[in-house]
Each structure stands twice: as structure tokens, then as C-alpha cells.
Chains A and B, each alone.
Chain A
Amino acid sequence: MAMTITEKIMAFNSGRDSVVPGQLVWVDVHTVMTMDYLGKQCFKAFESLGAKTLFNRDRVICVSDHLVPPPTPEYATMLNEWREIVKSYDIPNFYDLGRQGIAHQIMVEQGHVLPGKISIGTDSHANTYGAVGAVGNAIGVTDAAIAMATGKCWFRVPETVKFHIKGEWQPWVMAKDLSLHIMGMMHWNGHLIYKALEYCGPAIDALDIAGRMTLCNMTVDLGAKNGIIAPDAKTAAYLQSVQKGDWNMIASDADAHYDAVYEVDVTNVGPTIARPDKLDDTVPVEQLVGTKFNKAFVGTCTNGRTEDFAIIAKILDGKKIHRDVNMICIPASQQVYLECIQKGYFEILVKAGVAIETPSCGPCAGIHTGVAGDGDIMLSAGNRNMKGRMGSKNAQIYLTSPAVVAASAVKGVITDPRSENW
């Protein structure tokens, strides 16, 4: 029977030849991720199940990302408790402060997600894993605990919606712009609730893994169950650099059934911005050129990768951040941090007047490292712009690509990166 890639993954990992949308299946999970602020509760819930051991010690991935380095004594205590419990289970894949990174970045760059497999995590942006052809899914503490005990998780097989992306990427246009464009088209948490979202087409083939991660990352904000891109030669090359072993280069059947098919010509997508408060209130950058803002931020599981900082470095090379703007950049992991140092990107950024912080979620969840105060107008390359998301409810958050943030930070007002020869 013809199946989409997501259906195939659900079938193969539940010991079935085929599945149909709507079917309820228990699947084998490849990895379970949890992190600092929910992790202890996962282990406690696991303990209450009566299971003797973890299903596989190597496949429970523990990350410190939201709270590191701890901004308050309360968080420091929480982190200590978290460390204690992870250590008591002798978890080999513990990415604590010093080896840290945002969990979703760690999962992909450290090879904990693989094509054709299912990985789950106690954080909404686990959809990111679709970038390498895995089903990545966010779950709660209960599901994590059960998967830690049994290696299994239940799923209702989702209907798949295809986004065929054609055309040529225009200069300074990034995966984030396409993501925001689709957000405006489909609406935030709108028509794609419960769906698997499959990106394909020549413009997706042209995207690097970093761009694919950005795209899949934000499918959760479209309400989708997962976002996925079939693995190709780029995926294989990327994985070979991070992980040894076999994986399944799986793809949708040509005659698979889709719930809906949308086509987007990326040639017509320019730099795009979501205006404050609503993710789907997106407009082309042209409409906002000249808008004042005072804080610039690039980081997060959406846009904190080496490729993102490469673009920023290109724009900031030899320039200065405008004196009315404070700019913070946070690499998504220690590995990204190191790469950006080695490639010289961070030298350019520091010379331009950017504050660089140690890897963490930073102000994205409004917890620390540059949160918004009353009256702040943030221009962020993150993923959420609801009132109060990055701190004060009396701040405004514009979301856009790293290129728009960098160009705008130089000018002190929202700027179209295409307007100048950087």
C-alpha cells in the first residue's frame, strides 16, 4: 500500500507492513529527550511505574538548556536536583553546562535522531528532528516516563499535508522567511492541527540541514504533529559526520495519499517578519522598513546555528551595531559556539558590538540572558512572539530571519537586507 514517509515510519517502527491515518499504534522510539526543568519529573514518574530499568540507558538523552547557567538560586537548586537524578541513572548522554546546547540542536548534531526512526522529547520543538528524515514529536512528562520504561509511545497516525516548494532562493532569503511566509498562509496553529507536514521540491533539495531544521522546527507552531523532509545525499553527508551506523533512507511513495497539497514558489518569498503578538501576522519586510526597535536577538532552536551566524558575520563585517540597539547572539550549542569561533564569525560579531552568551535557550522563554523589559521592542530570530514570551508583557516582539535582524541592528531601524551590498 502506498504510504507517505511519516506513515512508513509509523508502520515500520510499530512492526506493521502498513498503517492508515487515524490508526492508533504503539511505536518503538529510538530516543527520548528530556531537559532541565521537566526532566526530574520524568524520572520520578518513570520510577512510579514499577519498571526495573530504563529501556535503554544510551537512548535517554538529558540536556540542560532552559535554565543554564542558572539565573536565580531557585533555578540553581532545580538544576542541582536535575543533575543528581541524571547522575544516579548514570546516563551517558548528559549534556550539562559545559557540554550544553539547546536540546533540539543537541539531538540532531550529536546524532541522536536518525532517518526512519522516531524520537520524542518533552519540549514542543522536537519537530525539528524531521530535518534529517526522522519523526520528531513533542510529548509530556507522562509519555516520556512511559517511553523511558518501555521504549514505546502511542500515536494516532496523522494525515499528511504536502508542501511542494519550487523556485530559486533569492539573496538574503532564509528558511525562516519561508517558514514565516507559510505561517501567514496557513495560520498559527490553524489548519494543520494533528497533521504530518512534509516539505519537498527543488527549493527544499537546495536547503542545507540548518535551513531544514529551521523549517521543521516551526511546524509545531503551525499546529502540526510533525514536520519532515525525506533524507537525501545532504542528509547522509551530514549524518556521516556526526554518527556511525545504519539508517533507513526512507521516502514517500509516488502515489501516496495526501490530505492536501500546497505549492509555494520560493522565488516570490522575500524577507518576512511576524508582527508582535501573533505568529501568523506576517508581512514582507518592505512594509516595516524604518520601524524603530531597541533589542536584537539571534539564537534559539530555530536560528542559533553556525549557518545563521555566518550570514550575520557577513552583514556585520566591518560594521557597528547602531548605538540605539543592544544585540545579543546565543549559539545553540557548545559545538556551534566552537565552530563560530574557529570560523571567525564571533570575532566579527564582537568587534561589531554584539554581546555573545553561552549556549542556552536564553531569553526565548523569558527566563534569563537578556529578557525584555517594559517598552522594549525586540527584533528576534526566535520562534514565538506572544505577549510576555520573552519577559515583560509590555514589550513587543517582531520575529524574523537572522539576516533581517543583523541588517536592522546596523541601521537601528527595521531594514531590508537586500537594500545594501553587505
Chain B
Amino acid sequence: MAIIKGKAWVAKTYVMSFDMIVQKFWTSPIDPIENSKWVMAGVDEAFNKENGFKDFGYTFIVAGHNFAGGGKSIEHCVTGLMGANIKAVFATSFARLQFRNAINYGMPFITSKDMNLDCETGDELEYNSDNGEIKNLSNGKIFSSVPVAPFVAEVGAAGGLMNFIRTKIADGSIANLH
């Protein structure tokens, strides 16, 4: 059983990709530790310093609609969160580009409607990835989430799409992708 516990940061407004990673870092190499130094810098002034977001020590992000919207395809948004030790993001909906990047990196972007209305920043959450249940240990509320597709789980278990494909190239089963 996979249970993760930790503190959440709760977004009260839209979280946009171009604020998660501000413009001057769009051309930076993709590297979780490097990207995590300035991740979320444009989202909140409190995060706008080196390791500003990471140093709060959050494990989860809870958000409303269109998390990581704004149409940027850069992967730094996801790797930055990974480097900042975020273990899952719960949102009512995700922007498709970052949802895709998250799947590719095996980073759980979990769809759970309106959780942001019943959680506060600093609340302690417990996420059970087996049944998708999320408990807010600070206020006793329980949330369910949309089950993760088998492919997504498979990629996650492989440690991301690169590893998933690397293995298939190595063992010659790549031609079977369908």
C-alpha cells in the first residue's frame, strides 16, 4: 500500500505555467534540482527567492481548474516541482501540456474536484495511491480522485516515459507500441 503524508500548499487562484517557471528560466536545462530553485517564483511573492518554494517543505499542491495553464510546453514546471519534493498535485483540472509532461515524468497529477475549497495551506494530507483517496488530516475531510489510467500507472512504475521507452528499445519490444 502506497501512502504518502505531508503538508499541502493550496492555490487560491489560477496557477499558470509561465508563473511556475518565469521567462528567464525557459531556456535553462531541464534538471529537477536546478529547476526547483526558482519553481513557483512568479506564483507568489513569498516564493520569489532562491529555493523560495522548496524551503517551505510542502509535499502536495492543491489547486482548482486548469493547473499549470497558459499553454507553455516546457517541462521545467514539472521537473521543478519534482526537485522541490512535491509528491502529488491535486486539482479540479490540469492544463493539457503539463498534464502530459507530468505523466511522462511519472509525477502524479491527480484530478480531484474542488479540493481547494476544503483545504488550507499547511494542512496535513494523506494520499493513498492504491485507492485514490485523499484525507485532510487537519480537518477530517475525505476526497476521492479520478482513477489513474493503466498506461499512466505503468509509466509511473517505470520511473517515467524515458525509462519506459529505454527499456523497450534495449529489449527490442519497441516495435510493439500500439
A51 part of interface (Cβ distance < 8 Å): yes
CA distance A49 to B96 in the complex (A): 25
Knowing A140-B73, A142-B105, A149-B165 are in contact, say whether A189-B66 is a contact too (CB < 8 A). Answer: yes
B101 touches A140 (CB 8 A): yes
CA distance A360 to B1 in the complex (A): 52
Q: Inside 8 A of B99's CB, which chain A residues have their CB?
A: 194
- Measured CB to CB, the nearest residue on chain B to A188 is B69
Residue of B95, B97, B149 with most chain A CB atoms under a 10 A cut-off? B97
B124 part of interface (Cβ distance < 8 Å): no
Least distance between B74 CB and chain A CB atoms (Å)? 7
CA distance A370 to B172 in the complex (A): 50
Knowing A14-B178, A146-B165, A223-B95 are in contact, say whether A138-B69 is a contact too (CB < 8 A). Answer: no
A146 touches B162 (CB 8 A): yes
Q: Inside 8 A of A51's CB, which chain B residues have their CB?
A: 169
| Chain A 382-405 interface residues, beta-carbon cutoff 8 Å to B | 384, 386, 388-389
Q: Interface digits, A12-35 against B, CB 8 Å rule (1 contact, 0 not)? A: 001100000000111000000000
Number of A-B residue pairs with CB-CB distance less than 8 Å in the complex they form: 102
Knowing A26-B177, A124-B71, A189-B95 are in contact, say whether A45-B100 is a contact too (CB < 8 A). Answer: no
Give the total of B residues in contact with A, Cβ under 8 Å: 39
Q: Which candidate, B23-31, B33-41, B45-53, B127-135, is the interface stretch facing chain A? A: B23-31
A176 part of interface (Cβ distance < 8 Å): no
Of B29, B71, B166, which contacts A220 at CB under 8 A? B71
Knowing A189-B71, A220-B71, A221-B71 are in contact, say whether A140-B100 is a contact too (CB < 8 A). Answer: yes
Residue of B27, B151, B161 with most chain A CB atoms under a 10 A cut-off? B27
- Measured CB to CB, the nearest residue on chain A to B176 is A26
Q: Interface digits, A79-103 against B, CB 8 Å rule (1 contact, 0 not)? A: 0000000000000000000000000
CA distance A220 to B72 in the complex (A): 10
Of B26, B69, B101, which contacts A189 at CB under 8 A? B69
B95 touches A193 (CB 8 A): yes
A73 part of interface (Cβ distance < 8 Å): no
Knowing A194-B96, A388-B23 are in contact, say whether A189-B70 is a contact too (CB < 8 A). Answer: yes
Q: Inside 8 A of A142's CB, which chain B residues have their CB?
A: 75, 101, 104-105, 160-162
Q: Inside 8 A of A344's CB, which chain B residues have their CB?
A: none
Of B75, B170, B177, which contacts A141 at CB under 8 A? B75
B100 touches A124 (CB 8 A): no
Can you sample 12 A-B contacts with CB below 8 Å?
A: A24-B149, A41-B29, A48-B166, A50-B170, A122-B73, A138-B71, A139-B73, A142-B105, A142-B160, A146-B161, A154-B151, A386-B70
What are the nearest 5 A-B pairs in CB distance? A26-B177, A189-B69, A124-B71, A142-B104, A140-B75
